[in-house]
A = this chain, B = another copy of it.
Amino acid sequence: MEIKRGFASDNNSGVHPAILEAMSRVNAGHEIAYGDDKYTEAVSEKLKAIFGKETGVYFVFIGTAANVLGLSALTQSYNAVICPESAHINIDECGAPEKFTGCKFLSVATPDGKLTVDLIKQHMHGFGFEHHSQPKVISITQSTELGTLYSIHEIKTIADYAHEHDMYLHMDGARISNAAVALNEGFYEMTGGAGVDVLSFGGTKNGMMYGEAVIFFNKDLCSDFKYRRKQGMQLASKMRYISAQFDAFLENDLWKHNARHANAMAQNLYTAVKDIPGVKITRPVEANAVFAIIPKEVIPKLQEAFFFYVWDEDTSEVRWMCSFDTTEEDIEEFSALLRKLL
C-alpha cells in the first residue's frame, strides 16, 4: 500500500483542494509582509462579521501557539489557569504554556473531558493569598479531546461563573467546526455569544494546511497582542497564505461541509464497530472521534493496515479520529479487518 490511510489524527490528512487553490490565487505580485496586506484585511473582516465587529483577530501558525499566546494575554505570571486533565494545553504542548506564560496550570480529572462548575471549585481558593498562584482563567475545549461536546448552556454556565470571580473563559477551538456542526449552532453562539473571552479558532484539523486565529471578544484584552505574537515567534511574514486559507475555509461553508463529513464518518465508524464482540465504545461519539477498548493483542495487527493511536496503554483504549477526507471505504475496510481480527 503506497499511501497508508487511517484514523490517527485529523491532521494526518492533507489539505482540502479548495484551500490549496485559494493559496495559489493570492500568489501574484507583492504584498506588504507581516499581515498588512489586502487579503488579510479582507478575511479579518469576514471573521469580524461572524464573531462581532469589536472582535480582535490575529493569525498565528498553530493551535498550541493560539492557546499559549491567547492565555498570555489574559494572565500575569503569578496567575493560574484551570483546565481539564485531558486538555491539549495540559498534556500535549510540552510545557509551552508554563514556559511562555509562567503560570501554573491546575488540572481537573473529568469523566468526559468537560469541566463543570462543580469540578472547577476544587481549585477556587487562595484568592488574595500571595503564596498561591491566583486563578485567572478557565480553559475549555470544544469539541473536547475526548470527542465530547459542551452545550451552549454549559458554556454559558462556566462563563458566568468565571466572570463572577473576575476570571476569564478561554476556549481551545481546534475542532470547533466539528462542534458547530454537531450542535447545529453558529460559531459565535458557542463562543463570544456564550461568554467566551478568547478563542483559539482552528482549521488545520479540518482541511487547512497551517494557521490558526486567536479571536478576542473584548478588544481591551488584545491592545498589545501584536507584540505578544511577534515575541511569541508567531508572526508570519507572508501572511497572505494563511489569510487565503481562512478565506477558502469560510467560503461556501467549506468548514461546515468538511466537519459534517468527518462527524458523519465517525457515526458510521461507531455504527460499524460498536457491536463487534470485543469492542467496547468508551465515550459518547458526539463529534469526529471514536474511543474504544479493544484487546491489546489486536492493536499492532490493526495498526499494520491503518494508522491510529493508543490513548491509554493500561486500559487498552484506542482513539479513532475521522477527518474531512475519511471515506466510506476506509470505514468498511477498517471495520472488516477489525471484525476479522476479533
Contact = CB atoms under 8 A, between A and B. Distances in A.
Interface of A: 2-6, 8-9, 11-15, 17, 20, 23-24, 26-34, 61-62, 64-65, 68, 76-80, 91-96, 98-100, 102-105, 125-126, 130-134, 204, 209-210, 224, 226-238, 241, 307, 313, 325
Given A92-B132, A226-B130, A236-B210, A12 B28 contact: no
Contacts of A98: 77, 98, 102-104, 133
Nearest to A128: B226
A130 B36 CA distance: 12
Contacts of A325: 30
Given A78-B227, A238-B11, A313-B125, A233 B30 contact: no
Nearest to A241: B209
Contacts of A226: 130
Given A64-B233, A241-B210, A20 B24 contact: yes
A265 B211 CA distance: 33
A39 to B, nearest CB: 11
Contact of A230 (B29, B130, B209): B130
Interface majority SS on A: helix, strand, loop or mixed? Answer: loop
B234 A233 contact: yes
Contacts of A32: 8, 12, 307
Contact of A103 (B6, B78, B95): B95
A12 B239 CA distance: 10
Contacts of A232: 96, 233
A227 B4 contact: no
A227 B130 contact: yes
Contacts of A230: 64, 78, 93-94, 96, 130-131
Contacts of A231: 77-78, 93-96, 99, 102
Contacts of A30: 3-6, 8, 12-14, 307, 325
A195 to B, nearest CB: 24
Nearest to A2: B29
B236 A61 contact: yes
Nearest to A92: B131
Residue of A24, A34, A99 with most chain B CB atoms under a 10 A cut-off? A99
Contacts of A24: 20
Contacts of A27: 14-15, 17, 20
Contacts of A6: 30
The 4 closest A-B pairs by CB, nearest first: A3-B29, A78-B227, A99-B102, A11-B237
24 contacts: A3-B30, A5-B29, A9-B33, A12-B30, A61-B210, A61-B234, A61-B236, A77-B95, A77-B231, A78-B228, A91-B131, A92-B132, A93-B231, A94-B230, A95-B103, A96-B231, A96-B233, A98-B98, A98-B102, A98-B133, A99-B231, A100-B233, A130-B226, A210-B210
